[in-house]
Structure 1
Amino acid sequence: MAMLAAKLLMFLFLSQGQHCLAAGLDNCIFLGEEGKNSLYEEGDVVIGGLFPLHYSPVSSLPKYKTKPTPISYKYFSSRALRWMLTMTFAIKEINHRSDLLPHLKLGFHIRDSCDDIPVSLSAALLLVNGQPDVGTRAESLNRDKGLERNSHYNVSCAAAQTVSPVIIGDAASGVSMALLKALGSFHIPLVSYFASCSCLSNQKEFPTFMRTMPSDAFQIRALARLVSYFGWTWVGVIGVDSDYARFAIQLFLKESVKYGVCVSYTHFYPVGLSQQALDELLDVIQMSSSKVIINFSNESEMQGIMREVRYRNITSLQWIANCYVKGQRI
């Protein structure tokens, strides 16, 4: 009986507290920072865009005890810039033509996703809800100063920019999957230009996902035929610890059997390649008799591996990279 009374008192306390909070804070609160890297042009229909213009090779895991500190995204992606400019160019070309969408102007709202799931989710929610008015950040309300001292702030979440009914992005398969799980319930279409994971082809799980890039299933078949053509029947397979790499390696293991290719080992390494992770990876490679290595990763991880390989003067290895890696940078 005492436990029931305690639960009832707690419920009344929380209900009253939420009521007072809502009354004192108007409609809603926009928590956090809305970011600075964005490009906006008004239109009758504003198309959202997410592009990893900046990125960092080090990924920090949340501890859920303190507010996460901002990550320094010190690297700039020229390829992502080209993707972004392609989108803006296409929209402007459509607006200039009268035979495509007459009496309708397309706009765009583009944000930097930083190749990071938390940043991408925050940016995507801003796109589909509209950019909050300037000055409506509620960070000052989170400093335990009380509602009275903040009553002069306009904390309404009214959108100052047109919401986006569709988002173009993101580049990474893992980021796109996280966006789909967050936005899928609202039936917001997501059109990716670079996410190739075969797992995203499941229309029952991701009915609102579309892409302009073919599935990894075709690339994996080509890789299996490639190693078979050159007579490389004893290979090592490595990949970054992500949904994309795990699904790709799983497909490759199935396809390689059809062509008589045997896999010496499979090894996954973390997204943020530390020196310890590099040492473990290269120890596995050097202990194996396989001289052909297939790597499923992003460009930043591949660059880190190649730098360490050169530093250790490891030679006589044949490296095969997936489509995410540009050869001229390695």
Structure 2
Amino acid sequence: MKGISYSRYGGPEVLEYGEVRDPKVGPDQVLVKVRAAAVNPVDWKCREGHLDAVLDPVFPVIPGWDVSGVVVQPGVAVTEFTVGDEVIGYVREDFLSRGTFAEYVAAPVRTLARKPRNLSFEEAAGLPLAGLTAYQVLVKALDVKQDETVLVHAAAGGVGSLAVQIATHLGARVIGTAGEANHDHVRALGGEPVTYGEGLAERVRALVPTGVDAVFDTVGGDALKVSANLLAPEGRLVSVADPEVLGYGGRYAFVRPDAEDLRKLAELAEQGVVSVHVQETFPLERTADAQRLNQEGHTRGKIVVTVDWETEEGGA
């Protein structure tokens, strides 16, 4: 089958398009014919070796954790899915090797849910990792309640845009940091935009003089330091970007595959509570370009890689 792989750490130039090994389908896995796979910052961070201390690479690595596609072969012990089911998945293992930027992926059932019927494959591919991150942080880690005020950093990005929608659905008032060009987008999602950068603390304090109840940090660094100083006396702070959050009395979160959480997220999508904005799509062979664009750090919503099955040939 065709796919993207890299045999050493490095920049986008280490990504190669060509023949990759066919996936083996375990008893509790299903073989998914990939229609789309979303790009996430963790993809290029893994490619550059930034997660080497916690994730062993088995080269050549096929990158990618997000997927939407169609089940073509269930494992012998699988009862949850059948051939033809449309699914989404956050297909992460505890090592780097068998990712989703390929024509097929063998996905454990614990990583999958049925695709929301109202989303395209491209939109659906952008939901699992970013959506699960937002859902698990807001619902489980921060335990956001109705009428609380939540500060979401990078509110127009992949995780942030879904966090704004979910927090609003939970009944919270949402303040979201974003560049001025994305302020209208943040408002459309249900948030109150504030410009990030110098003077952020003053701008947030002007909106919430007593401090915010919860902060969802997706940026780290200076934003994390500012966030800690914006909390109300009993405020909570969670970061998905910077473990230094522990030094501020907060919590570090790393999204986990969870079929039940993913199913709930898909239901929210079908109810129209959350939507996925796709900024741009790239064909599979241009995954390097997709990662370059994501690495620039100004994405509104998601960047998605697609497999064109009308022109692609080959299979597992």
TM-score norm. by structure 2 comes to 0.36
Q: Structure with the greater relative contact order (CA < 8 A, sep ≥ 6): 1 or 2?
A: 2
Between Structure 1 and Structure 2, the one with more strand by share is: 2
Between Structure 1 and Structure 2, the one with more helix by share is: 1
TM-score norm. by structure 1 comes to 0.35
Q: Which has the larger radius of gyration?
A: 1
